[in-house]
Amino acid sequence: MNPGDQPLPARDWATIEPMTAADLDQVMAIEQVSFRRPWTREGFLVELKRRPARCLVARQGRNVCGYLVFWLIPPEIHVLNLAVRPDLRRRKIGRLLMEYMLEYGRDTGAGEVFLEVRTSNLAAQELYRSLGFSLSGRRRDYYAEDHEDALIMAFSLDAPQKTFDGRAS
């Protein structure tokens, strides 16, 4: 089944796996079309080796559908990078990656998750709010290339967990 043929929820056809250097061609293709100032291949290679970094891909077969990079520095998790292939957006792949990370955080005893998101990235903000993240601050001119502010969003891992369909558990 091709995920582009039907709007199936990501859990029906995608798996979450550790990112490897072999994934970087596909990851870089997604990165290049997703961000105004994309990471470099070298940046991903550094994160793959960095001790606190966790790098994940959502995959269907051999195809990378999206990825997530975060740091686990107990008692916190800091989300660094999340992107989904443009033709597969709005299929809950980003949600699947984030839910996996939140579950991982709970399992490892982390207490809070933090991230920065562009003030103009309303789709990402919507995703994070739907997962239970709340606004905790603003970083002025965080994105130096265009002087855009970043919103700081936080999530308490002690809060009730929202399930894949949005219900509290």
Which amino acids are annotated catalytic?
A: 116, 128
Q: Across the strands, what pairs with 49? A: none
The sign of the torsion formed by the CA atoms of 120, 124, 129, 133 equals negative
How far apart are the C-alpha atoms of 94 and 17, rounded to whole Å? 14
* Phi, psi (degrees; rounded to nearest 5) at 47: -65, -35
How long is the chain? Answer: 169
Cβ count near 138 (within 10 Å)? 12
